[in-house]
Amino acid sequence: MAADVRPPRRDEMHAYYRVLPYANGLPQWEPADAAWHGGPEPWPPQRAPATAEQLDRWVEEDFDDPRFHPVAAFDSGACVGASAALSFEVTVPGGGAVPMAGVTSTAVLATHRRRGHLRRMMQAMFDAALDRGEPLAMLSASEGGIYGRYGYGPATYRTRWEIDRGEAAFLPAPPDPGSLELVDAARARECWPVVHARVRAARVGELSAIRGRWDRLTDQPDGTNGPLRYLLHRSPSGEADGIANFRLPWGSTTAEAGTLVVEALEAADPAAYRALWTLLLDFDLTRKVVAHTRPRDEPLRWMLANPRAMRVTRQSDNLWARLLDVPGSLSQRAYSAGELTIAVDGDRMCPANNGTWRLRSDGVSSSCAAVEGPADLTVSPAALGSLYLGGMSAHHLAYAGRITPHAEGAVARLDRMFRTDPEPHNSFAF
Ligand SMILES: CC(C)(COP(=O)(O)OP(=O)(O)OC[C@H]1O[C@@H](n2cnc3c(N)ncnc32)[C@H](O)[C@@H]1OP(=O)(O)O)[C@@H](O)C(=O)NCCC(=O)NCCS
């Protein structure tokens, strides 16, 4: 029987999950320091294969969710490949929220790799996303060498940094007009969506919350990692406007102990942000703070008397972006005022993208339409993915041969129109 790629039926979902590393106990991330930002350990901890009850629970949770779009590859009737797109909205320059297919949970059985199953699943997910009206796809990559060939380019970055408590003096600043409170997991579950909704409206690259995003927050210890603790900031009028999850892992030697790990921190305004970090960096009986999945342009550095005290210990790509519909996605973000004709060629998976597109912006509204005639520059699909959220230098891409200019000053114009400040960032993966 020929290979077949289609959404799995409900009665095929156990076989679908069993292909996935997180369900079958196999490694799910490249064992490289620069790749994994989920915690201080080099890989996400492996788990035992999922039990039948666990698989039933996942089917129950996922299958009827209208935002979950699984796809499976079958070979001779057996499920050998699995992936899924989750429907999100991503904040783009100008503050719009654009529908996006978040590709996740991708694997092909080790016995069936390199036979084109992923390529066929990816094509099926692209076609289905376009049918749903999602002009973009995004993902985070277990390995950096896989997804460029499908037209994805790195679009956001994340860093892990450390600060010794003894070096964490802040520059003088006005006193915090709000208040801090240590809260339990139930209150944290209530406040996270409130804070995130405000943060994502203002930060390019942030995503609408995934279903159940904060459901698993608990007060129970997680082995030697210790329990998560939650620090909430309220504005003077009592609204939740910043929150952090942190823990104090146990160490088997005194050298390992005393590190406070910040697993997540979001703040809707600078006062909340400063207040949360001020306490976390001066927690009694600790020596060091480690934070991960942080933006490259963390403003905390510039609040410290010694900006060098923040030592970046890892940095890697986070979201990879892929334009499925060039005019549909380019016309939904804002640009600095200008005009540019962009040629896209070589897009075999989304052939309607190939052509020359005139992008016009008055700084507020923008348009993108097909035109005849010469283009100012030619951009590869993956380079366009990297540029889309405004975090990538067009000059770098041109220097690397990913953009070919045909007109004087075109690369500088592209860079000026597309770049955003602060950098795009997404605080959670999916
Ligand atoms: C990544 C994975 C899903 C690829 O599946 P696959 O069916 O083997 O991929 P395909 O056969 O469709 O490969 C398509 C192309 O990608 C290349 N490719 C696939 N996996 C690759 C990898 N890990 N590194 C580099 N190239 C890779 C293939 O060589 C092929 O190249 P070509 O188009 O030049 O011929 C599979 O290797 C896997 O399950 N890996 C372990 C789990 C994992 O990493 N999942 C990704 C989570 S983000």
Residue 398 near ligand 1, beta carbon < 6 Å: no
Q: How many CB atoms lie within 10 A of CB 223?
A: 8
pLDDT for the residue 26 = 83
Confidence tier at 238 by pLDDT (50, 70, 90): very high
Is a pLDDT exceeding 90 seen at residue 221? no
pLDDT for the residue 226 = 84
* Token reading at 356: 């020359």
Residue closest by Cα to atom 42 of ligand 1: 107
Q: How far is CA 182 from CA 150, 218, 226, in A?
A: 45, 14, 16
CA gap 343, 377 in Å, rounded: 6
Is a pLDDT exceeding 60 seen at residue 355? yes
CA gap 415, 257 in Å, rounded: 46
Residue 209 near ligand 1, beta carbon < 6 Å: no
Confidence tier at 38 by pLDDT (50, 70, 90): low
pLDDT for the residue 276 = 98
How are beta strands 97-108 and 136-139 bridged, if at all? parallel
The answer to whether the peptide bond before residue 424 is cis (omega within 30 degrees of 0) is no
Mean pLDDT of 284-301: 95
Atom of ligand 1 nearest to the CA of 29: 44
Residue 123 near ligand 1, beta carbon < 6 Å: no
Instruction: Report the separation in Å between the CA atom of 283 and the middle of ligand 1, taken as the mean of its atom positions.
Output: 45
Q: Give 374-397 pLDDT, tens digit per residue.
A: 999 999 999 999 999 999 999 999
Atom of ligand 1 nearest to the CA of 141: 48
- For the whole prediction, is pTM greater than 0.85? yes
Instruction: Report the separation in Å between the CA atom of 81 and the middle of ligand 1, taken as the mean of its atom positions.
Output: 11
Comparison of pLDDT for 416 and 226, the residue scoring more:
416
Kindly state the DSSP code that residue 142 receives in the 8-state scheme: S
Is a pLDDT exceeding 60 seen at residue 140? yes
Comparison of pLDDT for 92 and 221, the residue scoring more:
92
**Residue among 53, 1, 2 at smallest CA distance from 23:** 53
Mean pLDDT of 249-277: 91
Instruction: Report the separation in Å between the CA atom of 111 and the middle of ligand 1, taken as the mean of its atom positions.
Output: 12
pLDDT for the residue 420 = 97
* Token reading at 23: 């369900």
> How does the average pLDDT of the chain come out, rounded?
94
Is 35 within 8 Å of 144 (Cβ atoms)? yes
Instruction: Report the separation in Å between the CA atom of 305 and the middle of ligand 1, taken as the mean of its atom positions.
Output: 46
Mean pLDDT of 355-368: 97
Helix (H, G, I), strand (E, B) or coil at 355: strand
Q: How many CB atoms lie within 10 A of CB 343?
A: 17
pLDDT for the residue 225 = 80
Residue 414, phi then psi, degrees to nearest 5: -60, -45
Mean pLDDT of 129-140: 98
pLDDT for the residue 129 = 98
Residue 183 near ligand 1, beta carbon < 6 Å: no
Mean pLDDT of 307-330: 96
Atom of ligand 1 nearest to the CA of 118: 12
Mean pLDDT of 148-177: 96
How are beta strands 259-267 and 288-294 bridged, if at all? parallel
Residue 73 near ligand 1, beta carbon < 6 Å: no
Q: How far is CA 328 from CA 133, 134, 155, 353, 396, in A?
A: 9, 9, 18, 10, 25
In terms of Cβ atoms closer than 10 Å to its own Cβ (0-12, 13-18, 19+), residue 252 is exposed
pLDDT for the residue 268 = 97
Mean pLDDT of 283-288: 94
The domains found in the chain, sorted by start residue, are 4-146 (3.40.630.30), 159-316 (3.40.630.30), 326-418 (3.30.1050.10)
Residue 292 near ligand 1, beta carbon < 6 Å: no
pLDDT for the residue 30 = 81
Which mutation among 86, 108, 109 tests ligand 1's pocket best, with the greatest number of atoms within 8 A of CB? 108
Is a pLDDT exceeding 60 seen at residue 1? no
Sequence-separated (6 or more) residues with CB below 8 Å from residue 111: 80
pLDDT for the residue 41 = 62
Helix (H, G, I), strand (E, B) or coil at 167: helix
Integer Rg of the chain from CA: 23
Is a pLDDT exceeding 70 seen at residue 43? no
pLDDT for the residue 39 = 63
Instruction: Report the separation in Å between the CA atom of 108 and the middle of ligand 1, taken as the mean of its atom positions.
Output: 8
Mean pLDDT of 266-286: 97
Atom of ligand 1 nearest to the CA of 115: 11
Atom of ligand 1 nearest to the CA of 119: 12
pLDDT for the residue 393 = 97
Residue 60, phi then psi, degrees to nearest 5: -60, -45
Comparison of pLDDT for 43 and 300, the residue scoring more:
300
Residue 107 near ligand 1, beta carbon < 6 Å: yes
Mean pLDDT of 357-365: 96
Residue 243, phi then psi, degrees to nearest 5: -155, 145
Instruction: Report the separation in Å between the CA atom of 115 and the middle of ligand 1, taken as the mean of its atom positions.
Output: 9
Confidence tier at 279 by pLDDT (50, 70, 90): very high
Residue 103 near ligand 1, beta carbon < 6 Å: no
Atom of ligand 1 nearest to the CA of 117: 7
Residue 413, phi then psi, degrees to nearest 5: -65, -45
| Percent of the residues in the chain that have a pLDDT greater than 90, as a whole number | 86
Comparison of pLDDT for 48 and 25, the residue scoring more:
48
Atom of ligand 1 nearest to the CA of 114: 11
* Token reading at 399: 């220097």
**Residue among 63, 140, 78, 142 at smallest CA distance from 109:** 78
Instruction: Report the separation in Å between the CA atom of 175 and the middle of ligand 1, taken as the mean of its atom positions.
Output: 53
Q: How many CB atoms lie within 10 A of CB 263?
A: 17
CA gap 379, 387 in Å, rounded: 10
Instruction: Report the separation in Å between the CA atom of 245 and the middle of ligand 1, taken as the mean of its atom positions.
Output: 34
Residue 26 near ligand 1, beta carbon < 6 Å: no
* Cα dihedral value 13, 428, 188, 186, nearest 10: 10
pLDDT for the residue 2 = 64
Which mutation among 16, 30, 146 tests ligand 1's pocket best, with the greatest number of atoms within 8 A of CB? 146
pLDDT for the residue 273 = 98
pLDDT for the residue 231 = 98
Comparison of pLDDT for 346 and 254, the residue scoring more:
346
Is a pLDDT exceeding 70 seen at residue 331? yes
Kindly state the DSSP code that residue 26 receives in the 8-state scheme: -
Mean pLDDT of 212-225: 88
Is 318 within 8 Å of 426 (Cβ atoms)? yes
